[in-house]
């Protein structure tokens, strides 16, 4: 009886030691992760950043608009994503569409501009137009090649907020001007 009791006591002590060493290993791993692994610590902490609120419309007491926020777009073309076959197939239609829409260049000038921009690989993003309205953007997106989206058609529209004041200088002091130095009015 003594021998089996001694054997079972040794087994129990060995089992306790094994569980104790396992617990020490788990605690050591937790301490290592919490104290020494900076990558894990910094990636799990929340990041704080400021989100600019969109500016809304300002109305007078009678409901007339004093200030309006309108989106204007800066239009770039990424001609490197457009295949040569598609570009050659639709260049005339695109040039005609751009000429009709903006009416600042002729169809031939737009075609020449786009061909030179496609040939020149110096600048990946070609500036097409600044201050494009939302309606003009919709017309641009309906042109044959630009229907394919940004990844295949190459049309990149960057939205920029624009503040329109319908009454001009009237009530401008009250409505205000948004600027860094000496802000004026309720804005």
Query: What pLDDT is recorded for position 167?
Result: 78
Please name every residue paired with 161 in a beta bridge, in sequence order, or none if there are none: 71
What integer pLDDT is reported at residue 184 of this predicted model? 62
Helical residues (DSSP H) of 37-149, grouped into ranges: 38-44, 84-102, 107-119, 134-141
Render pLDDT for 94-104 as a digit per residue (tens, 0 to 9): 899 889 888 88
Residue labelled with tokens 């990844």 = 151
pLDDT band at 57 (very low <50, low <70, confident <90, very high): confident
Please tell me the predicted confidence (pLDDT) of residue 174: 67
In sequence order, the 6+-apart residues with CB closer than 8 A to the CB of 81 are 151, 152, 153, 154
pTM beyond 0.75: no
% of the chain surpassing 90 pLDDT:
16
Question: How does pLDDT run across 116-152, given as a tens digit for each residue?
Answer: 888 887 777 888 888 899 999 999 988 888 888 788 8
Residue-level pLDDT at 168: 75
Phi then psi for residue 62, to 5 deg, are -90, 0
**pLDDT average, residue stretch 173-185:** 65
């Amino acid at each position: 009886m003594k021998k089996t009791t001694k054997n079972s006591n040794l087994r129990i002590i060995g089992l306790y030691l094994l569980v104790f060493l396992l617990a020490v290993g788990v605690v050591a791993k937790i301490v290592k992760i919490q104290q020494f692994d900076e990558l894990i610590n910094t990636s799990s902490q929340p990041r704080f950043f400021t989100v600019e609120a969109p500016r809304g419309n300002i109305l007078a007491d009678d409901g007339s608009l004093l200030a309006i926020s309108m989106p204007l777009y800066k239009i770039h073309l990424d001609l490197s994503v457009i295949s040569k076959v598609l570009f050659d197939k639709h260049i005339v239609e695109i040039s005609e569409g751009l000429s009709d829409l903006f009416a600042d260049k002729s169809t031939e000038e737009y075609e020449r501009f786009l061909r030179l921009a496609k040939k020149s690989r110096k600048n990946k993003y070609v500036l097409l137009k600044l201050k494009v309205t939302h309606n003009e953007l919709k017309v641009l997106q309906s042109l044959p090649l630009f229907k394919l989206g940004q990844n295949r058609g190459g049309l990149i529209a960057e939205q920029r907020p624009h503040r329109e004041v319908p009454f001009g200088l009237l009530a401008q002091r009250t409505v205000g001007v948004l600027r860094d130095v000496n802000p004026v009015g309720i804005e």
